[in-house]
């Protein structure tokens, strides 16, 4: 089946409530134990059929590579191959709102949104687990972005266990000027060894209680110890000073988020941080797609 008209889809960002690095497999992939949460920050993607069998990717944010290595490029090509669709072309326009090199899964979210959309419009009937298998070939966070909600993610990030959902709250997320590539972050973690604290088991118990204060007290990320970036510590302290119940870096960085139980307090925090940082926003937990 050929696409007949452009399709508009949304790609939701994620935050890591916890991220535990457990070790490294012989193949170089790292074993993780995380609690991940979808949030209401979105990229917008427009998928348009083209006459030529090629994938054209356009992005409104400068500096985003749009060539063969882009996650969306990989996702489209893998989908066509898995579905046996030949001689089809696709143009994907991305309106970026998720910060890049922030640990919020922007590229993975875009790839997941494309896989879901193409499965729907081509009526190929792939089940969620089949899309996750395709997504894992694109990136370790893509399967979570396909599932969404509040989940424990183990293995390299592809083994999921449902956990109690995040209660209503407000996240203030700030991306400082410093950026860290995922490869760089893991390389630093490898040099530190595997002596990192464990956060995920306590977070799962906290989510079960439904207490936002307890959840906020159980936030934690192994990369904070591996990277030791002063900008991260400064932001965490700023969040706590402005009334956050807890603050933590997400993913491999460098975005930091604070948890608030009041929208008014979250908005005040955002306005204060905007005096120094350009990328600051308020968002909320969101459910699975």
Q: Which of 20, 33, 141, 175 is catalytic?
A: 141
Q: Which of 14, 74, 96, 175 is catalytic?
A: 14
d(CA 74, CA 33): 26
Please confirm, yes or no, whether 141 is among the known catalytic residues: yes
Query: Half-sphere exposure of 239 toward its Cβ, with a 13 Å CA cutoff?
Result: 29
> What Cα–Cα distance (Å) separates residue 40 from each residue in 32, 146, 170, 231, 269?
24, 15, 10, 25, 18
- From first CA to last CA, the distance across the chain in angstroms is 24
d(CA 86, CA 122): 12
Let me know: does 72 contact 142? Beta carbons within 8 Å. Answer: no
Please confirm, yes or no, whether 287 is among the known catalytic residues: no
Task: Identify which of 260, 261, 222 has the alpha carbon closest to the alpha carbon of residue 240.
Answer: 260
Paired residues of 179 in beta bridges: none
Report the 10 Å Cβ neighbour count for 181: 11
Preceding peptide of 83 cis, ω within 30° = no
Active site residues: 14, 141
């Amino acid at each position: 089946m050929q696409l007949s008209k452009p399709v508009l889809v949304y790609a939701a960002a994620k935050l890591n409530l916890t991220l535990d690095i457990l070790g490294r497999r012989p193949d170089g992939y790292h074993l993780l134990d995380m609690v991940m949460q979808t949030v209401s920050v979105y990229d917008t993607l427009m998928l348009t059929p083209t006459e030529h069998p090629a994938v054209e990717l356009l992005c409104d944010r400068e500096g985003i590579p749009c060539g063969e290595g882009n996650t969306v490029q990989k996702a489209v090509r893998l989908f066509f191959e898995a579905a046996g669709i030949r001689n089809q072309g696709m143009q994907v326009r991305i309106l970026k709102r998720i910060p890049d090199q922030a640990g919020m899964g922007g590229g993975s979210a875009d790839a997941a949104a494309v896989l879901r959309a193409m499965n729907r419009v081509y009526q190929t009937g792939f089940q969620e687990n089949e899309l996750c298998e395709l997504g894992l070939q694109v990136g370790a966070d893509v399967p979570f972005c396909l599932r969404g909600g509040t989940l424990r993610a183990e293995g390299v990030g592809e083994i999921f266990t449902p956990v109690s959902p995040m209660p209503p709250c407000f996240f203030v997320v700030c991306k400082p000027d410093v950026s860290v590539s995922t490869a760089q972050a893991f390389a630093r973690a490898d040099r530190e060894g595997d002596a990192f604290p464990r956060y995920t088991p306590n977070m799962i118990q906290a989510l079960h209680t439904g207490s936002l204060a307890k959840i906020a007290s159980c936030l934690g990320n192994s990369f904070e110890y591996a990277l030791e970036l002063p900008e991260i510590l400064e932001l965490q302290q700023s969040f706590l000073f402005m009334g956050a119940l807890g603050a933590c870096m997400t993913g491999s960085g460098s975005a930091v988020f604070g948890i608030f139980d009041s929208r008014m307090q979250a908005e005040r925090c955002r306005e204060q941080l905007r005096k120094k940082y350009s990328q600051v926003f308020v968002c909320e937990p969101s459910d699975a797609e």
